[in-house]
Structure formats: structure tokens, C-alpha cells
């Protein structure tokens, strides 16, 4: 009996360590280690996987299974998110909405020079293509980033010409604006449309152009010190870990000095959908 228990315990230990080694290799070989880690955690916790080819919705106590109808419902819902949220927020305040352009104008005491849209070289475009993560997923043109990287030596010159034409004219081609919309389930009831997060699969050529425009804007913002040092999001050499360290350091410093500590955390619902386009257009120009 004792030997049987020892063998069973030994088998469980071996299985446990094999699982650890398997998960370690799985994480090390993945392109996005954070997403892979959460997949493992959800799998071990028995959380069901909601990734499926078809989606069913329940609206006004009616079951909807026709995929073309569901696609139109998602389209109308995503287009109206920002409008419905903003109209709902305005009902709870009597404050007159200020001119959105007044804030950036009053925040800086000196005018900034216009953004320099200098041309890109084939070497710069080639570096941007290499920096894109290799994936088999593609936009509507069915050209994945993996295929783009393989074809880069043969198309780098015309692609550079197109990118420079976009910078020169300020016109983004309509064909590069097309995207495949995919609703991704988040949590809760999987037939509630509000529990889905929309993602867009854009073309690989759009990603290259976006990287070029981002590089020019980031150079302009950095050169003119437009962003404060406390802005950690989406900036080179600024990590979210640094933001956490700064917060913890300020709290500990205040505690050591016997000071009171208070904090306010704000959650912005659908923040990217509700971006004020007037302010965004002002910063771009």
C-alpha cells in the first residue's frame, strides 16, 4: 500500500514537472508571451474557450443566428458606440462644453513649428517591414505580413514611392482603409453584443504606412517636448513598469514622511471610440 502511494505520488510529480517544462517552452516560443500566459492560466482554471466560427446573439428576447444579419447588427452597434456614450454623459452634467481646441492652445505658451514630413528611404521602409511581427493572418487582400517580408526585396522601391506620395499629398488611399472586422468575446453572456470587443484586420501595406506616419509624428512630438514625462503609454523607452514604479515610489515616500495618501482611478469606457476628432485633427496639423 505504501509503495503504491509512493509510485502514484512519483507519477504525479513527473507529470507536474513535464507540464511545467511544456508550458515554459510554449511561452518562450510565443510571439506574445503575455497573451500566451493568460491562455495557460485560463486553461488551468477551466475557463471555457469562446473562440468559434459562428456567433449567436439575443436581442429583444429574439435569437438571431443568421450571420449576415449579425454582421449588420455589429456594424450598426460599433458605429453608434461613441455617439450613445457621449449623449449619455451629457445628460448628467449642466456644464457647458468648452471649445476642445482651447485646451491645447492654452496649455502651451509658445507655438510649435509645423510637422516635417520628409521623405523616407528604401532603407527606412525595409527596417519598418522587418520590425512588423510575422503573422499568417491577413487583411482583405489576403497578403500576410509573412508574405510581405518574403516579397520585400522585390517591391521595396515602388512601396517607398507610394509611402512618399502619401506624405507629400496628405491623402491616404481608400483601398488601404479597408479592414476585416472581427468581434472578440470578452466575458459574461456570449449572446450579449456588449460583451464583444471589435478588432480590425488591416492590410500589411497599411501597417507599413502607419509605422512611417507614426515615426514622423513621434519625432515631432519628441523634438518639441509636447508630451510630459509622466506619459508612459505607446512611447519608446517608456515602460508601463516605470509607471507602476513611479506610483509605488511616491506612495512609499509619502508614507515615510507621515503624509496622507489619496488616489483617484478613472476607467474610460470605449476610450478610443470616443476620441474627440477636433482635438486629434488639431494635433496632426
Tell whether the model's pLDDT for residue 2 goes beyond 50. Answer: no
Cα separation of 222 and 281, whole Å? 19
- The confidence band for 285, taking pLDDT boundaries of 50, 70 and 90, is low
Strands (E) in 52-149, as ranges, are 57-59, 62-64
- Is the distance from CB of 145 to CB of 134 less than 8 angstroms? yes
pLDDT attached to residue 122: 94
pLDDT attached to residue 240: 78
Query: pLDDT tens, 106-162?
Result: 766 667 777 778 899 999 999 999 999 888 888 899 999 999 999 999 999 999 999
Give CB contacts under 8 A, 24+ apart, made by 70-74.
Answer: 73/193, 74/181, 74/183, 74/193, 74/196, 74/198
* Range with the poorest average pLDDT among 32-46, 182-196, 256-270: 32-46
- Is the distance from CB of 94 to CB of 270 less than 8 angstroms? no
Tell whether the model's pLDDT for residue 38 goes beyond 70. Answer: yes
Task: Compute the residue count for the chain.
Answer: 285
Strands (E) in 36-165, as ranges, are 57-59, 62-64
Average pLDDT over residues 91-108: 61
Query: pLDDT tens, 212-239?
Result: 998 998 888 888 888 888 888 778 778 8
Cα separation of 100 and 274, whole Å? 13
DSSP character at residue 136:
S
pLDDT attached to residue 81: 76
DSSP character at residue 54:
-
- Is the distance from CB of 238 to CB of 232 less than 8 angstroms? yes
**What does pLDDT average to over the chain?**
80
Amino acid at each position: 500500500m505504501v509503495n503504491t502511494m509512493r509510485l502514484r505520488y512519483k507519477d504525479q510529480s513527473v507529470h507536474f514537472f513535464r507540464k511545467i517544462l511544456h508550458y515554459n517552452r510554449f511561452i518562450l516560443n510565443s510571439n506574445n508571451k503575455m497573451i500566451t500566459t493568460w491562455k495557460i492560466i485560463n486553461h488551468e482554471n477551466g475557463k471555457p474557450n469562446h473562440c468559434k466560427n459562428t456567433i449567436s446573439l439575443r436581442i429583444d428576447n429574439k435569437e438571431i443566428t443568421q450571420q449576415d444579419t449579425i454582421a449588420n447588427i455589429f456594424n450598426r452597434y460599433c458605429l453608434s458606440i461613441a455617439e450613445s456614450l457621449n449623449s449619455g454623459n451629457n445628460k448628467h452634467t449642466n456644464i457647458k462644453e468648452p471649445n476642445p481646441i482651447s485646451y491645447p492652445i492654452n496649455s502651451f505658451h509658445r507655438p510649435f513649428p509645423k510637422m516635417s514630413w520628409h521623405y523616407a528611404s528604401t532603407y527606412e521602409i525595409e527596417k519598418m517591414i522587418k520590425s512588423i511581427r510575422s503573422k499568417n493572418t491577413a487583411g482583405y487582400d489576403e497578403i500576410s505580413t509573412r508574405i510581405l517580408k518574403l516579397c520585400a526585396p522585390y517591391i521595396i522601391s515602388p512601396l517607398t514611392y507610394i509611402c512618399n506620395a502619401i506624405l507629400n499629398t496628405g491623402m491616404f488611399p481608400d483601398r488601404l482603409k479597408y479592414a476585416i472586422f472581427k468581434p472578440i468575446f470578452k466575458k459574461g453572456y456570449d449572446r450579449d453584443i456588449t460583451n464583444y470587443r471589435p478588432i480590425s484586420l488591416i492590410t500589411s501595406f497599411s501597417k507599413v504606412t502607419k509605422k512611417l506616419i507614426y515615426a514622423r509624428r513621434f519625432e515631432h512630438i519628441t523634438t518639441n517636448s509636447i508630451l510630459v514625462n509622466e506619459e508612459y503609454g505607446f512611447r519608446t523607452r517608456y515602460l508601463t513598469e516605470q509607471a507602476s514604479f513611479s506610483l509605488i515610489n511616491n506612495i512609499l515616500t509619502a508614507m515615510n514622511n507621515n503624509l496622507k495618501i489619496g488616489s483617484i482611478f478613472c476607467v474610460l469606457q470605449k476610450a478610443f471610440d470616443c476620441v474627440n476628432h477636433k482635438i486629434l485633427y488639431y494635433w496632426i496639423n
